[in-house]
């Protein structure tokens, strides 16, 4: 299995990238978020990859970071979610947002992706809930099918949810409150705004 590619970026488009490694150009399908994170053509880049082997095809899927790579594996482990749908989801939702949507039971968030209807969105939430819930509550990250850990959310998000659960709110209540906020905000601001949101909802 090819874990990552580091080399010269030969081509870049919203849905694919070509990286030259050792004189060989590797084409990888990518989500649009990865396309935006890649450097200019001609520069050196690293793509974290997943390989999909079928009877008639061998495909590479590339991501700008390990979190997206791990989330892609988790998503495509859900029945009914193939590589194309996995890429579509990660084109509209960051790994952080996927974790928050699953933890909050927000299946509608996934329907923003091409190829995802309400039923498939519900299945994604149902099948991933156990895998991401523990990671968010503890701030330790989520485990994929191989048992390796990857960050489930930014440190601030995880700390804010841990603080809210420490105040007596359920993991679901905390995740729903945080999911409405900008995950890049400082921890204290996330907690303050989340408490305000929970207060208004009661």
| Three-state secondary structure string covering 158-170 | HHHHHHHHHCCCC
DSSP state of 181: S
Q: Show the domain range for 95.
A: 66-201
- Amino acid 152: pLDDT: 43
Residue 46: beta bridge partners? 6
11 and 77 fall within a common domain: no
Report residue 25: phi and psi, to 5°: -90, 120
On whether both 85 and 161 belong to a single domain, the answer is: yes
Give yes or no: residues 17 and 82 share one domain. Answer: no
**pLDDT tens digits, one per residue of 130-143:** 777 555 444 434 44
Domain identity same for 52 and 97: no
* 102 in the same domain as 28: no
Q: What is the dihedral of CA 6, 47, 39, 71, to 10 degrees?
A: -160
Q: Give the residue among 105, 98, 106, 32 at the shortest CA–CA distance from 71.
A: 98
> Is residue 12 located within the same domain as residue 72?
no
Q: What is the dihedral of CA 70, 164, 187, 112, to 10 degrees?
A: 50
Average pLDDT, rounded, for the chain: 84
**Is residue 57 located within the same domain as residue 115?**
no
Q: Write the CATH number for 191.
A: 1.10.150.20
CATH of the domain at 12: 2.40.50.140
Q: Are residues 81 and 52 in the same domain?
A: no
Confidence (pLDDT) at 28: 96
Q: Each residue of 104-160: pLDDT tens digit?
A: 888 999 999 999 999 999 999 999 987 775 554 444 344 443 344 444 445 677 778
Tokens 């990286």, residue? 19
């Amino acid at each position: 299995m090819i874990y990552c590619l580091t080399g010269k970026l030969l081509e870049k488009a919203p849905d694919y990238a070509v990286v030259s490694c050792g004189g060989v150009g590797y084409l990888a399908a990518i989500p649009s978020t990865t396309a935006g994170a890649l450097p200019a053509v001609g520069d050196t880049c690293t793509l974290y990859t997943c390989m999909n082997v079928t009877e008639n095809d061998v495909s590479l899927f590339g991501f700008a970071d390990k979190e997206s790579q791990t989330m892609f594996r988790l998503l495509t482990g859900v029945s009914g979610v193939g590589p194309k749908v996995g890429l579509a989801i990660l084109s509209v939702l960051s790994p952080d947002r996927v974790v928050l949507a699953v933890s909050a039971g927000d299946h509608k968030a996934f329907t923003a992706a091409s190829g995802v209807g309400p039923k498939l969105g519900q299945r994604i939430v149902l099948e991933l809930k156990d895998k991401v819930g523990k990671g968010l509550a503890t701030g330790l990250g989520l485990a994929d099918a191989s048992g390796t850990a990857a960050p489930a959310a930014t440190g601030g998000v995880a700390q804010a949810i841990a603080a809210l659960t420490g105040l007596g709110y359920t993991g679901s209540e905390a995740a729903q409150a945080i999911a409405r906020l900008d995950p890049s905000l400082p921890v204290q601001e996330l907690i303050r705004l989340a408490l305000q949101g929970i207060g208004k909802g009661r």
